[in-house]
Structure formats: C-alpha cells, structure tokens
C-alpha cells in the first residue's frame, strides 16, 4: 500500500548547481537535500557548507547535522553533543550520538571528560564499561567495582572494551572464582556453550576438576555421570541439571538409568530431581514403549511444568484417545485449563458425552474472543463469527505537524525504511494508549501499512483490526493471484503473518521481504513458474517482485497439499517434508482442529492458527469477499 517513490535522480543532477537562494516548497527542499548528500559523498565540502544553511527547515535537517558532527569524531566536543541532544531530544540518533561520544572520550583517555559528560549510566554495554572504567580512573572506585560486577553477570559475550574494567576488578580481588562460576551458570542457562568453555579456562588451578568437567560436558553430555561425582554445591547441581537435559535429548534411556545415581551424588532435593525426570519425559513423547510411556506419565504427574503437562494433553489429542484427553485436561493447573484451546476441547468432550448444553455454553463464551479458536467455536455452533472492531478517533491535525511524523514521511520518501521504523517506534513508544491508537490510524490513512501494524503491537491494540490488518499492496495481490487457486485474502494473510507488512523484513536465517522468501526457494520458484526479470536476492525486498514469487510458491504448496490451507500454511512455515511426516504420524485419526493443535512445533502451530484467522479478517475487509467459516468444507471434513 505504501507508494514506491523514486526521486528523479537525473533531474537532481541538472538542478543541484542551480537551486534558488531559498527553497520554500518541499520539492525544492528535497532537491537541496539530495544535492548536499551528493556533495558530501564526493567530498565537496564547500558545496555542503553552502547548502546546509538553506535546509534548516527541512524535516531531515537533524540527520545532516548528525552526519556533520560524526564526520570526524576526534574534533567533537561535549558542548556540541549536548547542544544537539537538547535541540533534538526525541531524535533516535541523539542517544546514538551520546554513546558514540562516550566511546570517543574513552578512545582519547579523557576519563574526567567522560564522567563529566555522562552523568548517568548509559544503556549500551560497551558504553557502560567505558563509563565505569572512567569512574575508576577518576577516583570513584566503588562505583566502578559495583558496575563491573553488574556488567560481568551476563550469559552472553561482552565487548572487548570491557576487559580493562574487568582487569582492575580482578586486581582488587573482585573477580573471584565464585564470580566466574556465577557467570558460567548464566551461560549455561543461555545455552552459550562456547562461553562456558571459555570461562571454565579462567578458573584457577584449585578448580581444575570443575574446569575440566565443564569443558568435557560441552563436548560430551554423557560425561555428566562423571561430573556429578564432584563434591556437590549449588553450582555443580545447576551445571549437572543443565548437562543432564542435553544427555537426555541424546540418550534418554541411558540418562534414565543414571538418574538416581546422579541425583544422589549431587544431593538433589525433590524439585531438582524432578527436573531430571522432566528432561527424560520430554523425550518419551514419540514412539515410546508401553513401559517408557508409563514411566513418563508417572513423572509428568509430579511436574510443575505447565508446558510439559500441555505437551501430554497434545499427545492424548494426537492419539485420538478421549479418555486420556479428559484425564490430562483435568490434570492441567486451573489457570491453564481456562485457555481457549483447552476450553474448546473440554467442550468437545462434554458434547461427546451427551452434555450438549454445557458444551454449547463453553463454546459460546469462546466465540466472544478473537482468533482461531473463537472462529472454530462459532463454526462448530453453526453461527457466523462476529468481529468486534475498535476504531480509533480520527487523527487530529497536530499529528501531521509533529517533527517525528514529518521525519518519518521524508525517510519513507527516500526509501530509508529502517530509519523510518526506528523513528516511528520511538514516537509511538512515548505516547499514551489513546494517542498510540490515533498514530496507528494515521499510519493506515497514509498507506504506511507496516507502521500501522507496529503501532498496534506496541500499544497492544488487539481489537483495532483495521489498523492491525491494512489492505496493503492490493493491486499486486490482485494481479498475482489471478489464474491461481489461492485467494487474495489467503495470500495477504500469509504476508501479514510473515512480515507484518515490512518489505525490508529479514529473518536470522535469511528469509526476506513481505512473504519472507528464502533465496533458494525464490530461485527454485522462479524457474518452476517461468517468472522473468529475477536475477539476484536483492530483488526480494521489492514488494512487487516478492509478491509475484511468494504467491507462486504459496500456490504451488497449496496445490501440492490438495488446496488445504492448514497443510499449505504449515508447509510454507516448516517445509513440505515435515508436513508429510506429521500426516504420516497422525494416520487419518484427527479432525482439522486436532491436527492443528498437535503440530509439534509451537511456532508452526501458532503460525497456522494465525493465518487461518487472518484470512477471515481479510475476507471481511476486502470488498467482494463475504467472510466464510474459518475452515472450508473440505478442510473440515478431511481426516488428518
């Protein structure tokens, strides 16, 4: 829905040397802005100095100031930084400039200047270390030592500039072996095995047995049986529990055989011993023998883990065993039993037991919510799902005059979407709930689809459905769902779930753009579908090309799985091979809702539920599409 506006670069080249003395219009300001950036890039500083005063009224002038200030950090003064942050207190780069200047002062070894400049503890870890070290150098030693301890206690790697702070802490006796063990504990909880091994090597010789044992644990979880023989302490018990979980994942039967001796050697209490049992019980959820299943169920009856108990409920559901389902639903904690999914299945069991009135009462209550289960409950009752839509007040004119909003608008014009999102989130985060709702509405009206969604997420505006589900890139979805079996609403639901309408979205594994395409998937789809004009993965951030390829791939998995959105959505998220395996495991025992609820991956389970619900929302908002039931007749009647 956001317009793609490409500045007229050729025109700028002609005009940049003949701009009038003062630019009144936004268009003229943009020409000057491009001109000054070009001059900067070509190191024409005389032209930069000539143009800068003419841009003071342009919304992005603060960004030019920031560039000017950071051009040569060695020349920057605290007065310049303070003046900039005082003039632009709400500019995201104001905080960035402060932190950069702290690093610069540290680089200059100007410790007195640093503590004078930074009167409060900065947020970034690296800047914190510089701040505390400056306090050490200027005589505020207790502040420095207390700060060193607070920074040290992290399960993650820390910046290199923290080393000098830790050195003085160690020299004063603060960085004791116990402190090293504390951090190892945090690294174990974070699963940071490389950090555990690194820290273990820092332990002194008298800790060699623990040190060697920890290093062995990271290489071979089975060594936990030997490690457990070390004299028990709170630390060794925690390390043993953490390693035992890895051992159970690798060899559950062997772990079970060693459980009693490990727990006894480490003098574990009942709660700690239960954690070992839980680790094994998780591994006995698949093809467990009768004896393993009995052991597992005995263990789960004693656990405090709600997640593990819910996993057991899903196992009963996946086995289509109503008696077992009833038993384990009852064994959920009271609060967990009130979740929509478990209320739904309680209603189904009541209905099967002949108590339709009680079942209908529960289902009716579920329909008052929003999302997958309220929609499923309405369909089960044979009634339409009623969407409750909260509407924000129409944005007042003051929003348009806010400096932050004007900067967002210009950043989007220049296709600096990442900076625009940072500006927008910084603004929304500072506003009260009612104003957040107005900002969401304003973004919707401007065609800033992802920013509308971002505001609703930040403000938890879950019933502001129009702002949560903008009709973005409609013409592209119209065009690229033509002659395909997928509907426009379904394709849009996938895109909304994948990227929240951020065309620049990129996942940690490389999925890119509106429909979060993996490069290999995109290349394969292009070849299979005969799509032209695609040559590199950089094109995946182009909304039009991303939608063209994404809808082609979605249509292919939709057809591969018999035009079933449950299976196609799961395949889009987790891959077709996994879906085929899940279908093989369920063996036609399950109805549609049970299959969705028993998808093994929590992410994929939530993904499928969201997409099906989002499809209904988009059917409602798209002209010409009357919302149907959340499950199509074929999806509902199929056995999975």
Mean pLDDT, residues 269-278: 98
Inter-CA distances, 156 with 183, 188, 194, Å:
9, 10, 10
Q: Are residues 453 and 595 in the same domain?
A: no
Residue of 101, 103, 95, 97 lying closest to 133 (CA atoms):
103
- What does the alpha-carbon distance between residue 197 and residue 184 come to, in Å, rounded to a whole number? 9
Q: Are residues 14 and 92 in the same domain?
A: yes
Cα angle at 387 between 382 and 388, to 5 degrees? 135
- What does the alpha-carbon distance between residue 363 and residue 90 come to, in Å, rounded to a whole number? 48
* Rounded CA Rg of the chain: 30
215 occurs within a structural domain: yes
22 occurs within a structural domain: yes
For residue 98, give both structure tokens: 């402060």
Which of 248, 276, 304 delimits the end of a domain?
304
Cα angle at 68 between 63 and 69, to 5 degrees? 95
Q: Are residues 15 and 119 in the same domain?
A: yes
**Sequence-distant contacts of 552-555: CB under 8 A, at least 24 apart:** 552/480, 552/484, 552/525, 552/528, 553/515, 553/517, 553/521, 553/522, 553/525, 554/486, 554/490, 554/491, 554/494, 554/515, 555/484, 555/485, 555/486
- What does the alpha-carbon distance between residue 197 and residue 192 come to, in Å, rounded to a whole number? 9
Q: Are residues 152 and 217 in the same domain?
A: no
Q: Looking at residue 64, which CATH number applies to its domain?
A: 1.25.20.10
526 occurs within a structural domain: yes
Q: Each residue of 67-123: pLDDT tens digit? A: 999 999 999 999 999 999 999 999 999 999 999 999 999 999 999 999 999 999 999
Q: Are residues 458 and 480 in the same domain?
A: no
250 occurs within a structural domain: yes
Q: Each residue of 495-529: pLDDT tens digit? A: 999 999 999 999 999 999 999 999 999 999 999 99
- What does the alpha-carbon distance between residue 283 and residue 166 come to, in Å, rounded to a whole number? 41
Number of domains into which the chain is organized: 4
Mean pLDDT, residues 148-159: 97
Q: Are residues 158 and 224 in the same domain?
A: no
How far from chain centre, in Å, is Cα 33? 35
Q: Are residues 106 and 35 in the same domain?
A: yes
609 occurs within a structural domain: yes
Question: Which of 404, 423, 476, 498 is the catalytic position?
Answer: 498
Q: Are residues 502 and 586 in the same domain?
A: yes
Q: Looking at residue 409, which CATH number applies to its domain?
A: 1.10.1240.20
40 occurs within a structural domain: yes
392 occurs within a structural domain: no
391 occurs within a structural domain: no
Cα angle at 555 between 553 and 557, to 5 degrees? 70
Which of 304, 328, 355 delimits the end of a domain?
304
Neighbours of 14 (CB within 10 A): 10
Q: How confident is the model at residue 286 (pLDDT cuts 50, 70, 90)?
A: confident
Which of 304, 319, 353 delimits the end of a domain?
304
Q: Are residues 532 and 433 in the same domain?
A: no
SS (H, E, C) 348-397: HHHHHCCCHHHHHHHHHHHCCCCCHHHHHHHHHHCCCCCCCCCCCCCCCH
Q: Each residue of 571-630: pLDDT tens digit? A: 999 999 999 999 999 999 999 999 999 999 999 999 999 999 999 999 999 977 667 899
Q: Phi and psi (nearest 5°) for 512?
A: -135, 140
Q: Are residues 456 and 493 in the same domain?
A: no
Question: Which range marks the domain in which residue 565 is found?
Answer: 474-637
Q: Are residues 489 and 519 in the same domain?
A: yes
- Concatenating the DSSP letter of every residue in 15-75 gives HTTS--SS--SHHHHHHHHHHHHHHHHTT-HHHHHHHGGGGTTSTTHHHHHHHHHHTTGGG
Q: Looking at residue 540, which CATH number applies to its domain?
A: 1.10.530.10
For residue 171, give both structure tokens: 């020299």
- The question of whether 479 is a catalytic residue gets the answer no
Inter-CA distances, 382 with 217, 301, 574, Å:
56, 37, 32
Q: Are residues 73 and 210 in the same domain?
A: no
């Amino acid at each position: 829905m956001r317009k793609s506006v490409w500045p007229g670069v050729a025109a700028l080249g002609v005009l940049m040397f003949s701009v009038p003395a003062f630019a009144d219009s936004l268009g003229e300001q943009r020409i000057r802005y491009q001109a000054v950036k070009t001059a900067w890039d070509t190191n024409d500083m005389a032209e930069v100095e000539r143009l800068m005063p003419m841009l003071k009224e342009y919304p992005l002038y603060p960004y030019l100031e920031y560039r000017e200030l950071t051009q040569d950090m060695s020349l920057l003064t605290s007065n310049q930084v303070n003046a900039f942050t005082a003039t632009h207190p709400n500019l995201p780069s104001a905080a960035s400039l402060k932190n950069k200047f702290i690093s610069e002062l540290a680089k200059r070894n100007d410790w007195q200047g640093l503590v004078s400049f930074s009167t409060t503890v900065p947020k970034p870890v690296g800047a914190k270390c510089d701040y505390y070290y400056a306090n050490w150098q200027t005589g505020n030693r207790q502040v420095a030592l207390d700060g060193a301890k607070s920074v040290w206690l992290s399960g993650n790697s820390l910046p290199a500039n923290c080393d000098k702070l830790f050195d003085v802490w160690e020299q004063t006796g603060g960085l004791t072996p116990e402190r090293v063990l504390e951090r190892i504990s945090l690294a174990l909880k974070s699963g940071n095995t490389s950090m555990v091994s690194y820290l273990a090597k820092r332990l002194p010789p008298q800790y060699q047995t623990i040190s060697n044992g920890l290093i062995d644990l990271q290489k071979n979880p089975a060594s936990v049986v030997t490690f457990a023989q070390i004299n028990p302490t709170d630390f060794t018990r925690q390390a043993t529990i953490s390693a035992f979980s890895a051992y159970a994942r690798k060899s559950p039967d062997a772990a079970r055989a060693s459980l009693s001796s490990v727990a006894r050697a480490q003098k574990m209490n009942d709660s700690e011993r239960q954690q070992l049992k839980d680790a094994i019980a998780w591994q006995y959820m698949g093809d467990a023998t009768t004896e393993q299943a009995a052991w597992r169920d005995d263990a789960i009856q004693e656990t405090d883990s709600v997640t593990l108990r819910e996993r057991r409920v899903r196992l009963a559901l996946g086995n289509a065993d109503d008696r077992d389902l009833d038993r384990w639903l009852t064994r959920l904690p009271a609060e967990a039993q009130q979740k929509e999914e478990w209320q739904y299945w309680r209603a189904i069991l009541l209905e099967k037991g002949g108590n339709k009135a009680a079942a209908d009462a529960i289902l009716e209550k579920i329909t008052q919510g929003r999302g997958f289960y309220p929609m499923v409950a309405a369909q089960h009752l044979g009634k339409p799902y009623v969407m409750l839509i909260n509407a924000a007040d129409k944005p007042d004119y003051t929003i348009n005059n806010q400096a932050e909003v004007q900067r967002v608008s210009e950043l989007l014009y220049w296709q600096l979407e990442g900076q625009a999102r940072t500006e927008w989130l910084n603004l929304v985060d500072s506003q009260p709930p009612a104003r957040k709702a107005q900002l969401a509405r304003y973004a919707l009206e401007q065609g800033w689809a992802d920013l509308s969604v971002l505001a609703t997420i930040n403000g938890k505006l879950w019933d502001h459905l129009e702002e949560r589900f903008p009709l973005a890139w409609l013409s592209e979805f119209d065009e690229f769902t033509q002659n395909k079996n997928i509907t426009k609403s379904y394709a849009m639901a996938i895109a909304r779930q994948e990227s929240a309408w951020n065309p620049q979205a990129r996942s940690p594994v490389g999925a890119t753009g509106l429909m979060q395409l993996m490069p290999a998937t995109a290349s394969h789809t292009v070849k299979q579908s005969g799509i032209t004009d695609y040559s590199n993965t950089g094109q995946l951030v182009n909304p039009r090309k991303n939608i063209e390829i994404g809808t082609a791939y979605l249509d292919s998995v939709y057809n591969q799985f018999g035009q079933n959105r449950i299976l196609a959505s799961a395949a889009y998220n987790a891959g077709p091979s996994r879906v085929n395996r899940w279908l093989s495991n369920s063996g036609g025992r399950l109805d549609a809702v049970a299959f969705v609820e028993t998808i093994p991956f929590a992410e994929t389970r939530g993904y499928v539920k969201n997409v099906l619900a989002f499809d209904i929302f988009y059917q409602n908002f798209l002209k010409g599409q009357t919302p149907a039931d959340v499950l199509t007749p074929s999806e509902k009647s199929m056995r999975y």
